[in-house]
Amino acid sequence: MTVSVPLSRSLLLAFCLLAATLEAGTPAMLAAAEAEAMTEDEAVSLGEEFGVAVGAVDEEIRKVLKLQQAKGVAVFEVIGNSRADYAGIKVRSVIKEIDKTEIRNLIDFGIAIKKAMKECNFTVGTYEPADPSDPVGWGVNFHFVGCKRD
């Protein structure tokens, strides 16, 4: 037995399903919308709010820090008494991850730090290049960022 649905009803049903999907948004669609909304200037400003002056890891920085790839966000300055300072983030480190989200560029950083700073606790993964004066303090480090202090 075959049930036929008039064409207009099936089109209406398809439209309703599509509208519900678009309204809810898929994770990929939401991430794309966040990326479009974030600018590099806003990401730098959010970094300062967190307590770091940052910049994109370009080829010049990659060579200076002896990195394999030009990925991540370089820390140029850590602002005293900030969440970044209390977490132990260091100058010359490269932020590679925030709360298990890979950081490839300033846009990734801006989106992740904006989301993370709304939380009380989160982690920041950094790569700290070898320093001849501190042979133990290099490599990948994870920093716990606690609640904002007053």
Asked if the structure places residue 1 within a domain, the reply is no
Structural domain boundaries enclosing 49: 38-145
- Which tens digit of pLDDT belongs to each residue from 9-32? 554 444 444 454 445 555 555 455
Q: For the chain, give the mean pLDDT.
A: 81
Mean pLDDT of 131-139: 64
The tens digit of pLDDT for each residue in 55-91 reads 999 999 988 888 888 999 999 999 999 999 999 999 9
Q: What is the CATH number of the domain that holds 55?
A: 2.30.42.10
Would you say residue 14 lies in a domain? Answer: no
Residue 102 lies in a domain: yes
What distances in angstroms separate CA 49 from CA 26, 45, 80, 89, one per listed residue? 30, 6, 12, 14
148: DSSP letter: P
Q: Which DSSP symbol is given to 133?
A: T
Distance of CA 142 to the CA centre of its chain: 15
- What six digits make up the tokens of 62? 């990659």
| d(C-alpha 4, C-alpha 121), whole Å | 56
